[in-house]
A and B are shown apart, each in its own frame.
Chain A
């Protein structure tokens, strides 16, 4: 989290990035496992 200027409201870009990474990493893991399994339809 960082402040953009003393007069405006603080920028939340760091917090936004952290929050999306927090939920995005486990979801990416789940999707990776899903793709691994789905390929069996074409190879199995």
Chain B
């Protein structure tokens, strides 16, 4: 499938909804927990077993994003969105068959393995295209899409719960719910497949409603350094950003994963303990902060520079953790406020990283590079909960309770954020020896770095980095 080039008059504002159609769908993954209790009851599973489809799905997300990124760059966003649609929907259809026949391995294979490939390819599918359409606001553009991944769970969680209530929580009800999910998401994601376009090679191809802005973007699109995905992982910059993302996500996930028991434990010994429903409200509020941070902070990075915004995420994040640790159970509003800010930085860190990669490695294979960087997410997904849970268990065994259960974890998070802060400070422009030499005869219109004198390219690169610092 050749990448679909935008005809004259195609508006770049059609690309974010295309990206959202995919991300709002695959974000359903974070609402898997809705299916866990009914599956455990209907198929006689343990909690660990019922988590398998989700865990395998996240592993496959990381693997397919890391290894499929180059294919996505080569075949274009429509191919990638089609693969994501087929895999994600087939995953649900296979799961429906598995639930109907009470063959749990089919659910693990369908939702986890096949659906997981859809998650990874879908996650990176619009990134490169959005950055090419919005070279003037790459943070905002990728922020919209990645906000969608957070939004997907907000939609799926109540929707799936209502469906199970209507169809029943036995195996046939679950099967029907999976079937409806598979078909609905296929239709919903189809909009993305049909709408997505890569910018035309010529500025005049971007006329129409957004002609002037898009044309301005088109002229800047391929400027700056261009580094291939294979070369990028050989640069210290990639690994610095890997550490930055890993530390930022670990710090956020540490709170997100244990939010409800954490706020309950924190204020258990006070005159105003937190009820179960209030703790659920706190978790919901954290999700809102996570989503708002994705679009808000990522858009802000277009104004203040990527390096500066990560200084904020990591530096102010550490300060927030410090405030929680020092204040203990003395102030509930302060605890909530700090947790919300940390979660907004967590979301912002996810959403800003593609634009940071674009600044350093160019648009040439930014989607593939982003896919490889997502292994930091997988690592953080294990690290964050492990640190908080393990330490809380140890503290409890040592006879501690209340906010002191988490004090050590909070200081470890501050240390991790400090490591990320240093890694961010070490980011420098990529050495020209890593840049892609583009023979004129082999250039492709959609990924062609603009031909310009080497001096001019280096000046642009230096200016980009100066702007960040």
A residues lining the B interface (CB < 8 Å):
8-13, 15-16, 19-20, 22-23, 26-27, 29-31, 33-35, 37-44
- Most chain A CB inside 10 Å of its own CB: which residue of B159, B207, B279, B284: B284
Q: Is the interface of A mostly helix, strand, loop or mixed?
A: helix
Inter-subunit contact A8/B284 (CB<8 Å): no
- CB A14 to nearest CB in B, in angstroms, measures 11
12 cross-chain CB contacts under 8 A:
A10-B9, A16-B17, A19-B14, A23-B21, A23-B24, A26-B155, A26-B188, A27-B151, A34-B287, A38-B285, A39-B281, A42-B278
Q: Closest residue to B8 on the A side, CB-wise?
A: A9
Inter-subunit contact B282/A41 (CB<8 Å): yes
B157 touches which of A20, A23, A33, A44 (Cβ 8 Å): A33
Q: Which residues of A contact B208 (CB under 8 A)?
A: 8-12
A12 touches which of B11, B20, B285, B287 (Cβ 8 Å): B11
- CB A20 to nearest CB in B, in angstroms, measures 5
Q: Which residues of B contact A12 (CB under 8 A)?
A: 9-11, 14, 208-209
**A16-B281 contact in complex given A23-B24, A33-B154, A34-B154, C-beta closer than 8 Å:** no
In the complex, what distance in Å separates the CA atom of A8 from the CA atom of B285?
47
New A-B pairs, 4, CB < 8 Å, besides A12-B9, A12-B14: A13-B209, A30-B158, A34-B287, A40-B278
- CB B116 to nearest CB in A, in angstroms, measures 22
In the complex, what distance in Å separates the CA atom of A32 from the CA atom of B26?
20
B residues lining the A interface (CB < 8 Å):
7-11, 13-14, 17-18, 20-21, 24, 148, 151, 154-155, 157-159, 188, 191, 195, 207-209, 211, 275-282, 284-285, 287-288, 336
In the complex, what distance in Å separates the CA atom of A37 from the CA atom of B287?
11
Q: Which residues of B contact A44 (CB under 8 A)?
A: 275-278, 280-281
Q: Which residues of B contact A43 (CB under 8 A)?
A: 278, 281
Inter-subunit contact A8/B9 (CB<8 Å): yes
Q: Which residues of B contact A41 (CB under 8 A)?
A: 278-279, 281-282, 284-285, 336
Q: Which residues of A contact B207 (CB under 8 A)?
A: 8-9
Inter-subunit contact A22/B154 (CB<8 Å): no
B21 touches which of A8, A16, A22, A33 (Cβ 8 Å): A22
Inter-subunit contact A37/B14 (CB<8 Å): no
Inter-subunit contact A23/B20 (CB<8 Å): yes
**A22-B8 contact in complex given A9-B207, A12-B208, C-beta closer than 8 Å:** no
Q: Closest residue to B162 on the A side, CB-wise?
A: A33
- CB A41 to nearest CB in B, in angstroms, measures 3
B17 touches which of A11, A19, A39 (Cβ 8 Å): A19
Q: Which residues of A contact B158 (CB under 8 A)?
A: 29-30, 33
In the complex, what distance in Å separates the CA atom of A23 from the CA atom of B427?
36
Inter-subunit contact B17/A20 (CB<8 Å): yes
Inter-subunit contact B24/A34 (CB<8 Å): no
In the complex, what distance in Å separates the CA atom of A40 from the CA atom of B14?
37
**A19-B191 contact in complex given A12-B11, A12-B14, A13-B209, C-beta closer than 8 Å:** yes
Q: Which residues of B contact A26 (CB under 8 A)?
A: 24, 155, 188
Q: Which residues of A contact B24 (CB under 8 A)?
A: 23, 26-27
Q: Which residues of B contact A27 (CB under 8 A)?
A: 20, 24, 148, 151, 154-155
In the complex, what distance in Å separates the CA atom of A33 from the CA atom of B283?
13
- CB A5 to nearest CB in B, in angstroms, measures 11
